[in-house]
Amino acid sequence: MTAAFYQNETKFYVAVDCIILGFDQKELNVLLYKRKFEPMMGQWSLMGGFIKAGESIEEAASRVLTDCTGIDNLFMEQVGAYGDITRDLGERVISVAYYSLVNMNDFSSETLEEYNAVWAKVSEVPQLIFDHNQMITDTLARLRRKAATRPVGFNLLPEKFTLPQLQNLYEAIYQTQLDKRNFRKKLNAMDILEKLDEKDKKGSKRGAFYYMFNKEKYDHLLEQGFYFSL
């Protein structure tokens, strides 16, 4: 047992909350849960959990993510710590928010029901408990910055996606319209996508070619001082 160096100090409950973002071909969505315990039971909230004695913050966030999605190794990044005194109406709780980017197709409606979870368009998020709405706002700001300079957007799409899908995604992230030709020109110049022979026929009669993000190519270009930018 180590000495109790800090015994005069106060201890706090520390939780993690997860902002799980998905994309449904038109808009960004966030996964919301009906809270299963007091206080505020039955209200909409983000999925969260208390940090346990033996785990780091990252581990806690990763555990919560896996527990409530059934998926491992999701893209995940810290948003920040939230610590207003009265932010939790139960007791004083400090929370560290993490956001994650997922492919909505990986969530069956059974999984969602099992967890009392629903996807909500980020433009139509209801009032959530505590400061969870603020966490979502902060996450979206962070995502906009991040997506502009790092290829994180691909986490929101299936492995195989079409260029119109990709463009819709960036339009959703930036809340703006992009020019089709300029968008494709840029991607073409970056040379980080793999064009497949296969077409997606769901979106149109003509069909759009599938592409895949080529991580090896991207990593290789990075080493040569290349910078992603969209």
Partner DNA sequence: CCAAAAGTGTTCGAACTACACCCATGT
Partner DNA sequence: ACATGGGTGTAGTTCGAACACTTTTGG
* Cα torsion through 200, 204, 207, 212, rounded to 10: -40
DSSP annotation string for 57-69: HHHHHHHHHHHHH
Q: Which is nearer to DNA, 75 or 226 (by Cβ)?
A: 226
Q: Which is nearer to its own copies, 66 or 188 (by Cβ)?
A: 66
Q: Which of DNA, its own copies, none does 58 bind, CB closer than 5 to 8 A by kind?
A: its own copies
| The one among 55, 59, 179, 191 contacting DNA by CB under 7 A | 179
Residues in the chain: 230
Residue 173: exposed, middle, or buried by beta-carbon count in 10 A (0-12, 13-18, 19+)?
buried
Distance CA 190, CA 78 (A): 28
Question: Is there binding between residue 189 and its own copies (CB under 8 A)?
Answer: no
Candidate segments 7-15, 72-80, 103-111, 199-207, binder of DNA by CB under 7 A: 199-207
| The one among 84, 196, 204, 219 contacting DNA by CB under 7 A | 204
Q: Which of its own copies, DNA, none does 118 bind, CB closer than 5 to 8 A by kind?
A: none
Strand partners, 101: 21, 75
Q: Which of DNA, its own copies, none does 145 bind, CB closer than 5 to 8 A by kind?
A: its own copies
DSSP secondary structure letter of residue 26: S
Shortest reach from residue 50's CB to its own copies, in Å: 4
Alpha carbon of residue 14 to chain centroid: 21
Between the two ends of the chain, the Cα-to-Cα distance in Å is 52
Given the rule CB under 7 A, which residues bind DNA? 162-164, 179-182, 184-186, 201, 203-209, 229
Given the rule CB under 8 A, which residues bind its own copies? 2-6, 9-14, 37-39, 50-58, 78, 80-85, 90-94, 96, 145
